[in-house]
Amino acid sequence: MKIPPVCLMITAAAATLSIHPSRSVFFYYETVTLSCAVPGNFTGWTVKRNTSTRSSLSCETWGQLHGSSCTIKGVYPSDSGVYWCESDSGECSNTINIRVATGVILQGPAVPLTEGDSVTLNCSYKEKYAKESTSNFNAVFYRNGAFIGNKSEGRLSLIHVSKENEGIYKCVHPTKGQSPEIWLEVRENNIPVATPDPDPDPTPPIALPKLLSTILLFILYTCIFILAVYTYRKWAQAAPLGGYLEPEQANDIRPNT
């Protein structure tokens, strides 16, 4: 069952449809609530559905409208179909398929999973007019027609799903038959993995102007040092020719009497 062509022409999904309880298959007379999550003001948005008998009907004709949510109290097989949010301008949200059955059902997520998610598929049995369902039995699970497991508590847990887990699932009760098939969709996780920045160089190179200044200062200080040594040596060599006299020369100088 497909949604009307007007929705298929709208590419911008400005709303998201969710469902509570979050599954796609329900027993007779369960209460189901569908909600439109719309950024900002939800005015002009409503939940619509296609069923086997009627198409593109708004919530007011088959449920109880509360703001952006629509509640069905006591679902029946005639409520099976495709549900979505639609605005007055024709924008549409994602779609959710609902199926109402009795006997054995397989309870799975109503919306696609993302790679890495975990989910539990619950095989349940309930008589049409019973108040409670049960999963306390030995259930056999199949994916795409192939046997995948036998669970004593009627629950199949899938941890960190991948595209390999995508497919058509069903379960079988030991005496009450099999459930309707459900489609489990797994979408790729396109979130880029952050790569750490490379460690900064612990000894960054010295800038060229600073290097040249250091070299010039070294040369200047070296020249000053050499000049100081040279001047001192010249002074030391010239000292005997000046005020310094040898002892023999000093004895020859006598004062007049």
Write out pLDDT tens, residues 118-141.
Answer: 999 999 999 888 888 999 999 999
Q: Are 180 and 170 spatial neighbours (Cβ–Cβ below 8 Å)?
A: yes
DSSP string, 156-215: EEE-S--GGG-EEEEEEETTTEEPPPEEE-EE---PPPPPPPPPPPSSPPPPHHHHHHHH
Give the pLDDT confidence score for residue 254 in this predicted structure.
Answer: 52
Give the pLDDT confidence score for residue 56 in this predicted structure.
Answer: 80
Amino acid at 159: I
Please report, in tens digits, the pLDDT of each residue of the chain (257 residues total).
444 444 644 444 578 999 999 999 999 999 999 999 887 766 778 899 999 888 888 999 999 998 889 999 999 999 999 999 998 888 889 999 999 999 999 999 999 999 999 999 999 999 888 888 999 999 999 999 999 999 988 999 999 999 999 999 999 999 999 999 999 999 998 766 555 555 555 555 556 677 777 787 778 878 887 887 778 777 777 765 444 445 554 455 455 54
Give the pLDDT confidence score for residue 224 in this predicted structure.
Answer: 84
Taking only Cα atoms into account, the Rg of the chain, rounded to an integer number of angstroms, comes to: 45
Alpha-carbon distance of 159 to 119, in angstroms, equals 7
Answer yes or no: pTM beyond 0.85: no
Give the pLDDT confidence score for residue 210 in this predicted structure.
Answer: 74
Amino acid at 235: W
Alpha-carbon distance of 79 to 132, in angstroms, equals 21
